[in-house]
Amino acid sequence: MQEKEPFFSKGKIKEFLGHHTASELIPESGKVVLLDIDLPLRQAFHALHEQGTASAPLFDTRKGTICGMISATDFITTLQQMRNLVSTSSNPMSEAEMDQHTIRGLRKELESQGQPCNQLISIAPNDTLQDVVNVLLKNHCSLVPIVNTIFEPVSSEDTQEVLHSATLGGVLGCLLRHFRSSLASLPLLARPLDSVAVGTWAHDSSVVVREASVQSGKEGPQSRKVANLATVKHSTPLYQAFTMLLEGGFSCLPVVSDAGVLVDIYAKSDITMLAKSNAYSRLQFEDVTVGQVLALATQPSPPSLLSNNTPQTWEGASPSASQTSIQDNSSVPAKQRIHACTNSDPLKTVVERLSIPGVRRLLAVNPETKKLEGIISLSDVASFLLA
């Protein structure tokens, strides 16, 4: 089996994905978040923050249908437009003025600017897990709603109901549950991270890994994906971070110290944190920094590296109160923000951590220097294992 890796493991995984459906991703008990398309953007900010999500399906009450999705990218675009509008006037927008900007209005404005909104992408409960993976990867989505279509004989029309949201992490979790008693049948998962070409790595951490050649079925050298990892500091203006996220197509920006030590992370999904104390209104005039916005969240707790089952301490610096405070967040319970791994962790550990709800990426960190070495995203692992 080892000689035929990774084809053997990937074949087993592909067989599993083709014989199981999206309905298995739906929990026995849970909630579904839908936003009315006529909801003011400011209220949508608060709703998503309270529900702990950065995107949701949109419901058009006029048509009675699910008409699309709103995501963190939409909110970032809106805040940038708000800043540009206010910069040409003398007064910031009031809450009443903000509430005139609805989700429907945003979509119409984008269409008038030659940026038509994407059509709704959804999957049916009976679609296979392979279909789910293909849709998410092809459309670069973090989640896709599972929509059940019901024919109403009285009205002779179809009605739609959103049952759940499918994610790549959910598919990985389903995979682990299925093979939990037979993980030895997937030898590929036992390989250390430095022996597979997964993720994006900094130039100084580039190594040649041994990966199976699709054409020959034999082992051959293949380099990791190497790039200049985009990072920010606590002092980086937030509008600059927004530009980096949108123009670079990044889902997150690691926050590093002057010495290059990883101290935090700012992700697109963190945009909803600005709903706390209406902090987004400050963006209209003030040059709010990344550190100030992160102070609205819980203080980052030590990420667990757990290489070889040995807990390691985290010595990254945290922002000082004088440098970052927008409001006193001492009463906010601690919550882990950084999810890390090391170069020597087995692929199984990476998959397990990425299957945790809400975890969309792991930051590979040098256990001695605490410096950032690479980023492994859900789509990286899914493209390697599931596609």
Residue ranges for the chain with pLDDT beneath 50? 1, 206-221, 285, 299-335
How many other CB atoms are there within 10 angstroms of residue 96's CB atom?
9
Residues 62, 39: Cα–Cα separation, whole Å: 13
Whether the upstream peptide bond of residue 6 has omega within 30° of 0, thus cis, is yes
**pLDDT of amino acid 215:** 38
**pLDDT of amino acid 306:** 35
Nearest to 248 by CA among 111, 375, 69, 116: 375
- The superfamily in CATH containing domain 226-385 is CBS-domain (3.10.580.10)
**pLDDT of amino acid 253:** 94
Cα dihedral angle (180, 184, 186, 187), rounded to 10 degrees?
Answer: 140
Residues 150, 155: Cα–Cα separation, whole Å: 12
Residues 266, 245: Cα–Cα separation, whole Å: 10
Same fold? 11-172, 226-385 = yes
How many other CB atoms are there within 10 angstroms of residue 193's CB atom?
23
Strands (DSSP E) along 168-231, which ranges?
200-201, 208-212, 219-223, 225-226
Does the domain at 11-172 match CATH 3.10.580.10? Answer given as: yes
Q: Angle at Cα 274 formed by Cα 55 and Cα 272, nearest 5°?
A: 10
Sheet containing 65-70, strands listed edge to edge, beginning at the edge strand earlier in sequence: 35-36, 56-60, 65-70
Check if the beta carbon of residue 333 is closer than 8 Å to that of residue 298: yes
Q: DSSP label at 92?
A: P
Residues 148, 37: Cα–Cα separation, whole Å: 20
**pLDDT of amino acid 1:** 47
H/E stretch holding 171 reads helix 168-178
Which structure tokens are listed for 308?
């070889």
- Helices and strands (H and E) in the chain: how many: 12, 14
Residues 362, 377: Cα–Cα separation, whole Å: 6
DSSP-assigned beta bridge partners for residue 375: 200, 363
Q: Where are the domains of the chain?
A: 11-172, 226-385
Which structure tokens are listed for 56?
């949701």
Whether the upstream peptide bond of residue 40 has omega within 30° of 0, thus cis, is no
**pLDDT of amino acid 203:** 74
**pLDDT of amino acid 154:** 66
In angstroms, how far is CA 220 from the centroid of its own chain? 32
Q: Is 361 helix (H, G, I), strand (E, B) or coil?
A: strand
H/E stretch holding 173 reads helix 168-178
For residue 326, report the phi and psi dihedrals to the nearest 5 degrees.
-100, -35
Single pTM value for the model: 0.81
Which structure tokens are listed for 214?
């699709």
